[in-house]
Amino acid sequence: MSQSKQDHPDSNLHPESTGLAAATVKAHSADQPLKLYSGWFCPFVQRVWIALEEKHIQYQYIEVNPYHKPESLLHLNPRGLVPTLQYENKPLYESTVLCEFLEEAFPEYAPHLMPENPYEKARTRIWTDFVTSRVIPSFHRFLQYQPQRHGKEGLEEKRQEFLGYLKAFTKEMDTEGPYFLGKEFSLIDVIIAPWAVRLWVFDHFKGGLGIPEKGKGGEDEEVWGRWRRWLETVEQRKSVKETMSGREYYVPIYQRYADDVAQSELAKATRSGRGVP
């Protein structure tokens, strides 16, 4: 017998945003031509949500439980994945595509998150791809690793792999900052921010992330100091804070990832050794 939506193992999640994100949702509950089909807990959604808030584009927020997908979403996106945008009654999806689309479709709205300089624009795309193809899969390999099943040594390997990708990313940052490209918050900051503000999950579930404390980074102290400066600034960004719910509501969701029993497309892709689906 096939499993019903009601008893899907991942379906027991808080139904709506909380904290500062709840106020953002309320402010965007009225009908608008531009509609964001969203899941409050989803980091891919948060990318698009941050971009919308940064640019002050009018949109309607529509909460979706991924295991009780409304027909309105399935009509737009047969896979039923979030984020999905409804624009002029037509569907668009894939979070990085949506962020660039908002830049091009609403050029009169500032700030502009994509740099105008062709070289910096290309670099943004290079490091956007790095986040999606390296950082996020490594994040999940570390989070979903089961030391009791595969050995404690493997957990440390996954930790070091993830830290290596964070170091590689950080070494490409503007030296002064505070953001990746310098003084201005830009698309590459948006792309990685949702995972950066969820790094606490490794302290909660995996015995710590392993980034050295200030002054204890050895030969990598300059790199980790730059990372800390970037992270502290991004965590305080209004658009980031106001698209986050209370931490306690994320815990049961990430518990399933930490136990490697989550059944999301990303969790299954990680389990099978594939990248971001």
| Contact of 38 with 45, CB cutoff 8 Å | yes
Distance CA 201, CA 158 (A): 14
Q: CB under 8 Å to 268, separation ≥6 — which residues?
A: 277
Q: CB under 8 Å to 99, separation ≥6 — which residues?
A: 47, 48, 51, 113, 187, 190, 191
Q: Which one is catalytic: 21, 25, 36, 42?
A: 42
Distance CA 93, CA 130 (A): 20
Q: Which run of H or of E encompasses 249?
A: helix 247-258
Select from 77, 94, 44, 84 the least CA-distant residue to 60: 84
Cis peptide leading into residue 137 (ω within 30°): no
Active site residue 99: no
Phi then psi dihedrals of residue 93, to 5 deg: -150, 180
- CA-to-CA dists, residue 141 to 14, 136, 209, 268, 273, angstroms: 25, 9, 13, 11, 9
Structure tokens at 252: 């049961």
Number of continuous H segments (helices) and E segments (strands) in the chain: 14, 4
Looking up tokens 């990318």, which residue turns up?
47
What is the identity of the amino acid at 180? F
Supply the residues annotated as catalytic.
42
